[in-house]
Chain A
Amino acid sequence: MATTEPNQVDSVTGQTTTGHEWDGIRELNTPLPRWWLWTFYACILFAIVYWVLYPAWPLVSGFSRGALAYSSRGQVAEDIQAIQAQRAQTEAGLDKASVTQIVADKKLLSLALAHGKAAFAEDCAPCHGSGGQGSKGYRNLTNEDWLWGGTLDDIQTTITHGIRADYDKDTRSSAMPAFGRDGVLKPEEIRQVASYVRTLSKLEPEAGVDVAAGKKVFADNCAVCHGDDGKGNLAMGSANLTDGLQLYGGDFKDLIQTITYARNSTMPAWGARLDPVTIKSLAVYVHSLGAGQ
């Protein structure tokens, strides 16, 4: 318990105490040094100078800007400008070289990969995932299941012109018919061909579905694009159905949905939105993710 008695004198030091006592211990009433007070005033002065120079006070609309007109956003803009000026020099080499030349030159490659990785995170990762792992309907860029080719040039073309990007005349375009919705195939035929397609990837066919009939349906309707052996065709962007790596899923249900309604998702044509160096860097980066050809 703290008790308060006024002005007692500590017998050892001869100094007065604050009058507070805690369990028999009394606090000496030692004054602070005067310079401490001056330091306090100096801090107040500093604060006033700060108010004048820097943004400080909230106002009805906005805030006081300060005499130096400093803003952290402005500083970031300056930094970005500086880094862009620096990049313009280091990336001049990327501008001149083709994607194949970039990969052949270790210095250019390392620049392109760094640039490509950053651009991928910004522009591609929302669909293809942070590491290009994709998800159902969005290509997993780390496996070999390329629909339009996995060479550097193929990838560069795909990025530049997109897929089914109708505003780009050179866009990659393929359109699988909606066999079910458009009444080309009956539901049972779709079940049969879906079951057969599973066997192409050495997956279990659906029980109680006639696979032999499915094979016939496939030969009549699908082989024209996907090939007799189901290995697809890069030139027309038809999927390889034998590798178990289906863009829209390889389950029986997934296959039925794909055959019934078709999928035909799109990818933007980045040629209109990104500069050539960024597109080349992206092509090099995507090619480096393990499945490049």
Chain B
Amino acid sequence: MIQSEIVGDQEVYDDSPLYAAATKIYPQKVEGTFRRLKWALLIVCLGIYYFLPFVRWDRGPNEPHQAVLVDLAHSRFYFFFIELWPQEVYYFTGLLILASLALFLSNALFGRVWCGYFCFQTVWTDLFMWVERLVEGDRRDRIKLDAAPWDANKIAKRAAKHGIWVLIAWWTGGVWVLYFADAPTLVRDLATFQASLVAYVWIGILTFTTYYLAGHMREQVCLYMCPWPRIQAALTDVDALNVTYRRDRGEPRMSLKEASKERAAGQPAGDCIDCYQCVAVCPTGVDIRKGSQLGCIQCGLCIDACDTVMKKVNRPTRLISYDTDENIKRRQRGEAPVYRIVRSRTILYVVVIAIVGALMLYQLTTRQHMGLSVLHVRAPMFTTARDGAVRNGYTLRFSNKSNETHKFAIEIGGIKGAVAKSEETDTLPDGRLMVSVDPDSTQEIELYVTAPLSSATNAGAPIVVKATDLQDGETVSVSDHFFGP
């Protein structure tokens, strides 16, 4: 209900209802540099997503042959030459840190370039809009079709559009589950209805979300659901390049005819001819001439639209361009624009990215295919043996990340007169204990170390357990304590 009220000398309307229907946006077709760039990136991104599960990678026998695989049943993650175990989840933490830093860097350089070119919401929406345009025609046709009565033509077009959308969405959901199982096998199982129920449920969920978010929600996701525009606004600075309407050049805006009249009379006239092409092509329906705003995903399509018009009216292009507000002010003062790509903020991001990346790379390349952890048996902390000697128990967990059985020799260091024994080991000819660990698995053993009373202290004497791989000599040591009365 619209209420009006006289406040002071002006009549004020409360035109804000509690809930408002979304204004439907009919983005117009556009051609140009940024549109071509977006098509190229769309093909690359979707190409990776749709076909990556089918890429094979030979890891030898008893290992999956899929390049990228999240094996939930066996708690393994495979990424080409990398195989991660659950306890190495910190690599994902590192990856997330890298991803957020890269996002911050991209924001410091080009604003919301992620939103405009790479975000899956943008990419799938772009694809869905392309289908829509293909079936129902461009902006005017679609507006007309929406207003038209439900005749055979409208029904056919709507059915075709939603049919294709659902097919794409279904294929998107179908590919998602392929990352969690052997892709060719799963495709066959899915086609013959042999796959597990959970696979179909996930396909259903992702079909629905893709269809609904890319087909119907579109810019609503960016405006109301996505946290990034909010965070981004707090992270940006004056030097970040944003899609900017150069109001120094464009204003005062007026029709082409008026502009030529004004120019002939020696009066100032802006380059903007107020043709609304920038608004018509915008996928989120904003008017970029109002300046930087939440709805702008900075995809650059308005730049293409404006450039097309500027070429037609023989004015210089890039009335809308990647620029900064500061540069507009500089131009208005008669100064040259300044583009500061290299500045403390971007240097900081690059340095931190380099450090995190180097750390992760170092970790990955020096990562051993064996692991050992030790846990002191707590109950009892120690046992006094019949002859007065002291015994401590340790739980050792060996992990063997390779795909063949490895044998490890165990040695004890740091405790005088220490003798180790375990029921779960064999003894080598030289007297050392040996444990055999199956491929791609872990093995836990209880190790009992006995030493004279004089070697033990109540506070715990430092003890080292060293394991040597009998095949390749790789060693790993862990430290703990040897307790006594």
Q: For chain B, residues 355 to 384, give those with C-beta under 8 angstroms from any C-beta of chain A.
A: 377-380, 383-384
Q: How far, in whole Å, are A34 and B393 apart by their CA atoms in the complex?
A: 65
Q: Does B386 count as interface, using CB distance less than 8 angstroms?
A: yes
Q: Does B275 count as interface, using CB distance less than 8 angstroms?
A: no
Q: Is the CB of A34 within 8 A of B21?
A: yes
Q: Is the CB of A109 within 8 A of B220?
A: no
Give the contacting residue for A131; candidates B223, B377, B384; CB below 8 A: B377
B13-34 to A contact mask, C-beta < 8 Å, 1/0: 1111111111000000000000
Interface stretch (choices A56-64, A90-98, A137-145, A215-223): A137-145
Q: How far, in whole Å, are A131 and B393 apart by their CA atoms in the complex?
A: 10
Known: A16-B12, A130-B379, A245-B386. A34 touches B446 (CB 8 A): no
Q: Is the CB of A290 within 8 A of B379?
A: no
Q: Does A103 count as interface, using CB distance less than 8 angstroms?
A: yes
State the interface size on chain B (CB cutoff 8 A).
Answer: 37
- CB-nearest residue of chain B to A110: B424
Interface stretch (choices A4-12, A156-164, A178-186): A4-12
Q: Does A153 count as interface, using CB distance less than 8 angstroms?
A: no
Q: For chain B, residues 210 to 229, give those with C-beta under 8 angstroms from any C-beta of chain A.
A: 217, 220, 223-224
Q: For chain A, residues 268 to 291, give those with C-beta under 8 angstroms from any C-beta of chain B.
A: 287-291
Q: Does B5 count as interface, using CB distance less than 8 angstroms?
A: yes
A residues less than 8 Å from B383 (CB atoms) = 133, 140, 142-143, 290-291
Q: Is the CB of B384 within 8 A of A35?
A: no
Q: How far, in whole Å, are A291 and B393 apart by their CA atoms in the complex?
A: 11
Q: Is the CB of A290 within 8 A of B14?
A: no
Q: Is the CB of B16 within 8 A of A31?
A: yes
Q: Does B7 count as interface, using CB distance less than 8 angstroms?
A: yes
Give the contacting residue for A245; candidates B3, B384, B436, B446; CB below 8 A: B384
Give the contacting residue for B5; candidates A6, A106, A110; CB below 8 A: A6
- CB-nearest residue of chain A to B224: A33
Q: How far is the CB of B156 from chain A (nearest CB, A)?
A: 27
B residues less than 8 Å from A130 (CB atoms) = 379
Q: Is the CB of A140 within 8 A of B380?
A: yes
22 sampled A-B residue pairs with Cβ under 8 A: A5-B7, A6-B5, A7-B7, A30-B16, A31-B17, A31-B18, A32-B18, A32-B19, A33-B20, A33-B22, A35-B217, A36-B224, A129-B379, A130-B379, A131-B379, A131-B393, A133-B380, A245-B386, A290-B391, A290-B393, A290-B421, A291-B385
| Residues of B that sit less than 8 Å from A by CB | 3, 5, 7, 10, 12-22, 217, 220, 223-224, 377-380, 383-386, 388, 391, 393, 421, 423-424, 436, 443, 446, 448
